Amino acid sequence: MQLWNTYSKEELLIQLRKNEVKLVTISFYQYASIPNPTLFRNHLFLTWSRLGVLGRTYVAKEGINAQIAVPVESLEEFRNELDKVEFLKGIRLNIAVEESAEFSFLKLKIKVRDKILADGLNDETFDVRNKGKHLTAEEFNKLTDDPDTILIDFRNHYESEVGHFKGAITPDVDTFRESLPVIEEKYLKGNEDKNIVMYCTGGIRCEKASAWYKHRGFKNVHQLEGGIIKYARDCNENGLENKFIGKNFVFDERRGERISDDVIAVCHQCGAPCDTHTNCANDACHLLFIQCDTCKSEYSGCCSKECEDVTKLPVEEQKALRKGLQNSNKIFKKGRSEKLKFKVSQEKPLSFPQALKNEKSDS
């Protein structure tokens, strides 16, 4: 019984092209009690492999978090299989706003984790299911117009750098784990009477954050239902004002889906307007950063001339150079390197109303 993928990315890409597979990129999550995550993981892998599902999924005792691509011809059966699981019955599926890449995923990976979202919390009295109030796109637009509202982006710096909601606080953090204490200390303390509104890519981070802040005693806690993905789709379908500017960063081969025509970021190498992320072509680096087409050509897809020089070496020599080296810190610190001259740390506004006022005066 095979419970994992054995093909290389290159082999998988050839196979997908040959079969002319048409895929729909989907994300969903659910916090629930899963007594045996490994057994559940194996069940999902066997079922989804049969349906041709690709993508990345995490399973833990606290629930499931999936970013996947489903063949169009298998979509109905995929939904039926989800409905067979009690806590997934009728679950909302976030459909991608756009399918800009040839394939968003190339293989199926389902992993068992301690948590589906690492949070650094060790409070046994915390109930993640006691979440904040979910807001529709229309409710979100209305509440964020209120001067007594604090709007907070719960994503990491490299995500909000290329796109965010107008007037949002965008903390300069690397991880969700880091964001929880930073946001409470810098933005929530002293604002207990304000409306707290938070958003993220698809909702999973806000779900846990809203429950945590309620647990910490904050009362008026809200979250954007379905995150940026659902918001953009709802605005398009219902003719609502879209308050999101720029691109929504996504964790697949696309690396982003455009929500508005605004380009609010710059190339990290030359400073030209750009919001296209790339991974350094040097296998010993793979730093995630923003690179324009001109610099991509000049640096051969690398973050620096040093990395470009490495890629020109014979493959075996490259392997010898990186043998024993740990590059996880570079990957973890996405978009942070002394080599990136135009990567700017994001300034945090003193207050949401002032930030909103500045945004409106600039428009």
Please list the ranges in the chain whose pLDDT falls under 70. Answer: 1-19, 98-103, 324-333, 345-363
Contact indicator for 251, 56 with CB cutoff of 8 Å? yes
- 265 occurs within a structural domain: no
Residue 101 has a pLDDT of 57
Query: Are 102 and 142 in the same domain?
Result: no
Query: Are 139 and 227 in the same domain?
Result: yes
CA-CA distance, 231 to 97, in Å (whole number)? 10
Residue 304 has a pLDDT of 94
Q: What is the residue range of 233's domain?
A: 133-244+349-362
Residue 236 has a pLDDT of 94
Confirm whether 292 is a catalytic residue: no
State the CATH number of the domain containing residue 25: 3.30.70.100
- 117 occurs within a structural domain: no
- 337 occurs within a structural domain: no
Contact indicator for 187, 169 with CB cutoff of 8 Å? yes
Query: Are 163 and 227 in the same domain?
Result: yes
Sole residue written with tokens 């997934």: 88
Could you give the 3-state DSSP secondary structure of residue 177? helix
Count the alpha carbons within 13 Å of 137 in the hemisphere toward its beta carbon.
Answer: 19
Query: Are 207 and 356 in the same domain?
Result: yes
Query: Are 107 and 144 in the same domain?
Result: no
- 253 occurs within a structural domain: no
| Number of domains comprising the chain | 3
Backbone angles phi, psi at 111, to 5 degrees: -120, 145
Residue 7 has a pLDDT of 61
For the chain, where are the E strands, in sequence order?
Answer: 23-31, 54-60, 63-71, 94-95, 108-112, 133-135, 149-153, 163-165, 195-199, 221-224, 244-248, 257-258, 277-279, 288-290
Residue 122 has a pLDDT of 87
